[in-house]
Copies of this chain bind each other. A is one copy, B any other.
């Protein structure tokens, strides 16, 4: 899994290392180093000298991590071109992509460690509890939302977007259902409201609007009521069994 490793490399050695393993090896390459990072594209940023962990993956994606946060300080998804060189006595990595046109440039001021990893393609990843799953489940069992509900369509396109579930209730009224896999916010209420108005414009039928989610914020519930719309609690995942490990934690987060 570890293809190569380099400690305290010279700028030239680091540049060679990056070139070799990014160009031919197609490895995931990391460098721990004091860096200077420039970004220019959709926005622009400068990170002055600081310690960072730089990761370049096989798809050309680049991320610059600091000591905190899951989100990198600088990054670039799937770049089209990578350039490596020595400029002013420093190893430099430049990652560019087109559409949008942007660029990240990393200067390695004091590289401490570089390594090339070969990670085999992994499969067998399964995610449960997505909104798509929720939609399939409710389309098959609409009684979870309400008895007598008959689903007419899923992802029904309107002029203002796609309706998650379109149905008819036991009394023949049209029902627009908007699903959220997490706590519903005012944004979701606005979305539902748009769809309901759009459907109402089509005819004189009575149209109900139901927001189905595991929870809803208080302001969102207020607005929902003010607009004459409804909320249905629908859990996206089964409840978790609380298991008692009885093990002291390493540390408590800051």
Contact residues of A with B, CB < 8 Å?
1-2, 7, 18-19, 22-23, 26, 28, 30, 32-34, 40, 42-53, 55, 57-63, 65-70, 72-73, 75-85, 94, 96-97, 101, 112-113, 115, 117-130, 160-161, 181-182, 186, 190, 194, 223, 236-237, 240, 245, 247, 249-254
B50-A124 in contact (CB<8A): yes
Per CB-CB distance, the 6 closest pairs between chain A and chain B, nearest first, are: A50-B122, A48-B124, A81-B249, A43-B129, A1-B112, A51-B119
A240-B1 in contact (CB<8A): no
Q: A55-B65, A66-B119, A160-B190 are in contact. Are A80 and B252 (CB under 8 A)?
A: yes
Selected from B19, B75, B182, B253, the residue in CB contact (under 8 A) with A70 is: B75
Selected from B7, B28, B61, B101, the residue in CB contact (under 8 A) with A2 is: B7
Nearest to A193 among chain B residues (CB) is: B194
CB-defined contacts of A115 to chain B, threshold 8 Å: 113
Cα–Cα, bound, A168→B251 (Å): 51
Nearest to A112 among chain B residues (CB) is: B1
Selected from B44, B46, B57, B223, the residue in CB contact (under 8 A) with A237 is: B44
Nearest-neighbour CB distance to chain B for A60, whole angstroms, equals: 4
CB-defined contacts of A236 to chain B, threshold 8 Å: 43
B65-A69 in contact (CB<8A): no
Selected from B83, B84, B251, the residue in CB contact (under 8 A) with A23 is: B251
